[in-house]
Structure 1
Amino acid sequence: MKNLKRRWQLGKVRPGDGSALPEYRLWQLFSRSMLFLDLVTPSGETRVYAVDVRHMVEAKSRQQHENAVGKSPAALYRDGVQIHRSNLPTAFPVPGGVIEVATSAFGMKRVHFVAEDGTERALRPHDRSQEGLRARFGRRFPRTSAAVGVVTLLVLLTALVISLMHGAEAVTRVPAIAELVGRFVSPVDLPAWGNVVLTVAGALSAVERATRLRFNRLLDTVSS
């Protein structure tokens, strides 16, 4: 399945237009992510690859956007020159492996270099991007950063448990199922304002995890 998925993602990649990598601007903080990878060639030269992701390109209009202006939601640059572009999720081919790129509703889901031997590592974010600012905060205040990570994880776990209990309650309302397993009543019944607070907290927690390139299919989708 991994090989099939990789082939499908590689098949979406198109040649780049040779344009220069645009400079990252402060106002693009929430609409753009830029991450870098340094690779050493067999001859000993260091090549700098950059993945440029534009978050504001809607999924339904990505193909039209690409055909109209020659841009894609994601592009790969080598030493500042665009060599590949693609819709997301994708896998850009690079010497010695691929760069897997995927996004979620809250930001980056995955930007990792996967080597031919299966090892992988996350790319280095641009200093002024969301991911770069979060990484800098983590380096300067490691304990506070770890505490924030624990809080966001607990918020998402709480939201997941409550969602599962409400789902079980809804399912067991069906008469046929209630006769088989009984009726389940969720012990947690939040007021309207409580549901709003939990939803907002879950979304903020998912965004915070996205800035650290942390994604769990179960946890980080429940808040969406």
Structure 2
Amino acid sequence: MFNEVRRRRAVQRVRPGDGRALKRFRWWQLPFRALFYLRLTRDDGRRTVCAVDVRHWRNNSSGNVKACLYVDGRQHARSGLPAAFPVPGGVVEVRMSAFGLKRCHYVTADGAEYQLVPDGDSAEGRRAHFDRRHPALSRGVGFLSSIVLVVAVFLLVVQLAEQLTRADGVSPYVGAFSSPVDLSAWGNSVVGLITLTASTERALRLRHSWLLDGAAG
């Protein structure tokens, strides 16, 4: 029920597009742009190609990142994120995290979900190509990213617990907790950089966990 309410609100935010042509992906847009495709068949049997274009640095009037839906190469609709674009047979849901897209899926009327296909020149497309060419190595990289985030969450929790239990109003009741890991400012900076890299790698695969990626953000 909550997802359905959120989806309806997102649909209401959609505005008509201006009909401009979809521009091809350029290599220098790798850190700032995501482009995904969806091929559908209309009720009359005609094939149509939908594209979702997200420019990470461009905001709408509300300050949210903006996404645009293109149909057969022309801008059909636009919306701030999170977005839900009505398309034949369902909606395309687009959501973003602090590290990139966390959702770009086609949700059919009966609830089935399909992730859109990234443009081959985009960062997401290059990561998908790496997965196809080197599946075992790709799984290893994904597993390593998850382990990094688990360790980062652990370090965050124990250091916060130590700080909280040092407070005068808390320590007499629960005792003072001493963190088993004491990182310097430099060490925390290194952990933060590694965590950012791991979360970005997961975002390229549209993987997101409120606990792991949310804590890292």
Could you state the TM-score of these two structures normalised by the residue count of structure 2? 0.94
Q: Which has the higher mean CA deviation after the structures are superposed, 156-165 or 180-189?
A: 180-189
User: How much has 1:65 moved relative to structure 2?
Assistant: 8.8
Number of residue pairs aligned between Structure 1 and Structure 2 = 216
State the 1:192 CA deviation: 2.6
Aligned to 2:31: 30
1:21-170 map, 5 Å? 21-58=22-59, 62-63=60-61, 73-170=66-163
Aligned match of 1:14: 15
Structure 1 counterpart SS, 2:143: helix
> C-alpha displacement at 1:159, in angstroms?
0.4
- Residue in structure 1 matched with residue 211 of structure 2 by the alignment: 218
1:121 Cα shift?
1.3
Deviates more, 1:176-185 or 1:46-55: 176-185
Who is 1:3 aligned against?
4
User: Residue 203 of structure 2 aligns to a residue in which SS?
Assistant: helix
Displacement of 1:191: 2.3
* Alpha-carbon distance between aligned partners in 1 of 2:109 and 2:193, rounded to the nearest angstrom: 40
- Partner Cα separation in structure 2 for residue 146 and residue 209 of structure 1: 11
Separation in structure 2 between the aligned mates of residue 223 and residue 84 of structure 1, nearest angstrom: 32
Q: CA deviation at 1:221?
A: 2.3
Distance 1:65 1:148, change over 3 A: closer
Equivalent position SS for 1:86: strand
CA distance in 2, matches of 1:8, 1:164: 35
Q: Percent identity?
A: 46
Give the counterpart of 2:196 among 203, 207, 211.
Answer: 203
Mapped to 2, the partners of 1:9 and 1:171 lie a distance apart of 38
- Helix, strand or coil: the match of 2:68? strand
Which blocks of at least 5 consecutive residues in structure 2 are unaligned? none
Letter in 2 for 1:78: V
Question: CA deviation digits over 1:143-182, x for unaligned, max 9?
Answer: 1111100111110110001101111112212233222222
Report the aligned-residue RMSD. 1.7
Secondary structure at 2:106's aligned position in 1? strand
For 1:4 and 1:175, how far apart are their aligned partners in 2?
44
Task: Call closer, same or farther: CA 1:46–1:103 in 2, change over 3 Å.
Answer: same
**Given residue 32 of structure 2, which amino acid in structure 1 is its aligned partner?**
S
More displaced stretch, 125-134 vs 15-24: 15-24
Structure 1 unaligned residues grouped into runs of 5+: 67-71
